[in-house]
Chain A
Amino acid sequence: MTTASVPLPNWISYGLIPLLNLLLAFFFSGLVVWWIGESPLEALKFLIQGSLGRGDAIGFTLFYTTSFIFTGLSVAVAFHAGLFNIGSEGQAYVGGLGAALAALALDHYVPWYVTMPFAITAAAIFGAAWAFIPAWLQAKRGSHIVITTIMFNFIGAALMVYLLVNVFIVPGKMAPETRTFLEGGQLPKLDWLMALFGLKLGPAPFNVSFLIALVMCYLVWLLIWRTKFGYEMRTLGISPSAAIYAGVPYARIVIIAMLISGGLAGMMALNAVNGAAARLQVEFVAGAGFVGIAVSLMGRSHPVGIILAALLFGILYQGGADLSFEMPTITRDMIVVIQGLVILFAGALEYMLRPAVVRIYQQFAKG
């Protein structure tokens, strides 16, 4: 009880402590690398170069970052209302169906910027729809949202495989995926943005949905800290009993917060489906929904924190892929271990260093 309640300046709480946690995570990752007989510094060099060293590397990093921003925001919105949405993965997957349908329906007739609003809306609606049933069950029946959203990930995955194999598959092809969208159904790459910094995007799939993600960050911030609905969400999330006292309608908040959360998860498909692959594929979410949980946790459910955490995970994803290519002894699984250490130190052990930091801070504050 002594140190947890001591107020620290924001630059320590939100700057120094996360940084120390990150350094600790890298230190232990370095130990693991050293243990399997490679040079940690060399590995770090590959990791950084592979993610930030070239134009296309940065492009891939930001591509991953974009997906993680969407799913991170999704988890964060639900979290502010006291809900642990584990289902961003499935909601993003089903959101892909909406994004693909919009593209398939319109790409013959209109340019991309006409398709885009439809794709955004459809992705959000499909993602939200997938979150609705768990939300309703939580709000009206008290079924725990963690359990139901996990189950809906599996149901969503099965549904999507069925649709891709039986409905959307291109006749005569083996791959369970839709036809490739024409340009009217794609989101263009942001090579002009990279060019501003004198970088070449190359083959990296960094696209317009990054800008959509940034807009969503602003809108989520607005929603949570500037609207009456956000106020009610936060009241419910922090203190359910105070929410009842204040007359905050529980069921309504739970359902709407989950719809927004699912919608944000669904929009992740814009990046992967309309932006990168230009078609709907099996398993396109590839774990981004789960990474969103870690991103939201690390980013303290604040859009600015989420952008930074998403960038970190983007670096780990892209740099990690490059690292395992350059150092074959460091396999994909090793990269997962490193990501796991980051989540462990920056997320789960968030408070481990805090008491020590508080003590040191008090020494300084006194003197």
Chain B
Amino acid sequence: MSLDPSPAPAIELVGIDKKFGPVHANKNINLTVARGSIHGIIGENGAGKSTLMSIIYGFYQADQGQIRINGKPIVIRDSQTAISSGIGMVHQHFMLVENFTVLENVVLGVEGGALLGRDAARAREELKRLQKDYGLEVDLDAIVEELPVGAQQRVEILKALYRGADILILDEPTGVLTPAEADHLFNVLRVLREQGKTILLITHKLREIMAITDTVSVMRRGEMVATRATAETTVEELAELMVGRRVLLHVEKGEAKPGPVLLSVKNLTVKDSRGLKMVDNVSFDVRAGEIVGIAGVAGNGQSELLEAIAGIRKPSSGEILIDGQPVAELDAARRRELGLAHIPEDRHHMGLVLKFEEYENSILGYHRDQRYGRGAFLDLEAIRKDAEDKIAKYDIRPPNPRLKTANFSGGNQQKIVVAREIERDPKLLIVGQPTRGVDVGAIEFIHRRIIERRDAGKAVLLVSVELDEIRSLSDRILVMFAGKIVGEKTSEAGEQTLGLMMAGIAA
């Protein structure tokens, strides 16, 4: 921690309170972030972290309370005020124009005049200086969409620094990064701290909190429940503070008892709309009673592979057999009838219709089933009853099947999907990023359900960019790189080995 003699903290929140209708998102929050420190904020989804950050960044106004930046009380009406107060934010989903260059992205919105030329030249100088000071190397003339994700994130950080940020808020910054990229990011953050910047890190990954932060604050159900010096706390204590009860961080599972093959993929090739091979001649089997994990950095063909198996994307060649039956001609609905269930990577665009009420989403994909209504009609009573059962069983909150799905938190939305897919007792479950943006308590819950499938003698195919998740759940691990499966390992394989394979360096 910095020993800056001037005692005014970078950020001070006093009694911040925010309600959305009946939802009390932030209850009397007090928070002090020391200047020149890395301060972590953890909490389950729906704990109010995002709301709090949105208040600091001016997206929302607090109903009550005060924000002090460097000791001075200010009212942050919008993000412009936040930026001019020296606050910068790096969002979880990057806010970049993909077909602009890095330089163009950085100056976007602060061009300084009608003509670009002169200001661009000045910006280039300034950016070079920032890059040198903070170790943020990235080619200023590269097109953003051609950069790896880690570099895109550095562009976001540059953008914030270029706008004069002294305080950086990073929202789940490592969600899309490889382990190596995450390490690189942490180095950047350390340099930023040395240079006197203050960093507020929002994450649900306890390991990151332990690795990088000086101080950590825990939020639960809208309240700030504890603040600890990172050196004086443990992962277990933080997890317990977050969830309010003891949490098993490592899933326990017995020996796998593989049975007959339930999913067989043979020489599968999938091309994208530009004709590029996203999945390149991939073959593997998944047996009953085992979990096969597919590890890989996002964008190496895992998504396309899952979609091809689910019947969402047409492969250009190869074969897929579900329980011995070729499914090339079957659409997603028909494949469900064969006993396939699919928890999609993107719950917002695929797994859920956010404008639907909860109970309507609880039948998505199974709505033709006779149990949800005979003939052409829907039996709303039966559907709501069914939804209520799932809500109770999966502890979906708030327990209201008539609530619009968009109004559930990320973790609860995911539970809606998981409940729908698993409660059908499918023979084969394919899962993409089951815990992306999901809080610790719900992660544990979802992991248990997945292992239960295996122990019930069903097959599970798991795709995740979280190496920890792959390692703790899978019986076998396939590593995908550039559309190909570059190797198979057991769950005992070290993170290092897998990381190198994921980067396409070793097989």
Contacts and interface: CB of A to CB of B under 8 A. Distances in A.
A366 B350 contact: no
B19 interface: yes
A230 to B, nearest CB: 8
Closest 9 CB pairs of A and B: A247-B333, A247-B332, A246-B365, A245-B350, A241-B349, A239-B353, A246-B364, A242-B353, A247-B331
Interface string A1-20: 11001110000000000000
Contacts of A366: 19, 63
Nearest to A232: B367
B60 interface: yes
B21 A231 contact: no
A242 B352 CA distance: 6
A245 B331 contact: no
Given A7-B21, A235-B364, A238-B356, A245 B377 contact: no
B331 A242 contact: no
15 contacts: A1-B59, A6-B20, A226-B377, A228-B367, A234-B356, A238-B355, A242-B350, A242-B352, A242-B364, A244-B332, A244-B350, A245-B310, A245-B312, A245-B342, A366-B63
Interface bracket on A: 20 to 34
Nearest to B368: A228
B334 interface: yes
B334 A247 contact: yes
Contacts of A5: 406
Nearest to B333: A247
Interface of A: 1-2, 5-7, 226-229, 231-232, 234-235, 238-239, 241-242, 244-249, 365-366
Contacts of B466: none
Contacts of A365: 19, 21
A285 to B, nearest CB: 31
Contact of A228 (B310, B378, B406): B378
A231 B378 contact: yes
B360 interface: yes
B377 A242 contact: no
A333 B111 CA distance: 47
Contact of B367 (A1, A244, A246): A246
A207 B147 CA distance: 67
A226 B407 CA distance: 23
B367 A231 contact: yes
B21 A245 contact: no
Nearest to B64: A366
A242 B63 contact: no
A245 B344 contact: yes
A2 B76 CA distance: 14
Which residue among B60, B310, B352, B356 has the maximum number of chain A CB atoms within 10 Å of its CB? Answer: B356
A30 B377 CA distance: 48
B392 to A, nearest CB: 24
Nearest to A235: B353
B356 A245 contact: no
B311 interface: yes
A246 B332 CA distance: 6
Contacts of B407: 7
B367 A245 contact: no
Contact of A227 (B350, B353, B360, B377): B377
B409 to A, nearest CB: 13
A2 B59 CA distance: 6
B404 interface: yes
B320 to A, nearest CB: 15
B60 A2 contact: yes
A239 B361 CA distance: 12
A241 B19 CA distance: 33
A227 B59 contact: no
Contacts of A239: 349, 353-355
Nearest to A6: B20
B59 A247 contact: no
A247 B311 CA distance: 8
Interface string B353-383: 1111000100111011000110011101000
B78 to A, nearest CB: 9
Nearest to A5: B406
A7 B332 contact: no
Given A246-B333, A365-B21, 11 more contacts: A5-B406, A6-B20, A7-B407, A227-B378, A231-B367, A232-B367, A238-B353, A239-B354, A241-B349, A245-B342, A249-B333
Contacts of B427: none
B351 interface: yes
A7 B404 contact: yes
B336 A245 contact: no
A6 B25 CA distance: 13
A61 B356 CA distance: 36
Nearest to A8: B21
Contacts of B404: 7
Interface in B29-72: 59-60, 63
A2 B376 CA distance: 40
A365 B335 CA distance: 48
A227 B353 CA distance: 17
A247 B341 CA distance: 12
B59 A245 contact: no
Interface string B464-492: 00000000000000000000000000000
Nearest to A249: B331
Contacts of A238: 353, 355-356
Contacts of B367: 228, 231-232, 246
A228 B331 contact: no
Contact of B312 (A227, A231, A232, A244): A244
Given A2-B60, A226-B380, A242 B21 contact: no
Interface in B316-346: 331-336, 342, 344, 346
Contacts of A226: 377-378, 380
Which residue among A2, A232, A239, A246 has the maximum number of chain B CB atoms within 10 Å of its CB? Answer: A246
Nearest to B372: A228
Interface string B69-109: 00000000000000000000000000000000000000000
A228 B20 contact: no
A35 to B, nearest CB: 37
Interface in B214-271: none
Nearest to B334: A247
Contacts of B372: 228
Contacts of B332: 244-247
Interface string B395-413: 0000000001011000000
A239 B351 CA distance: 10
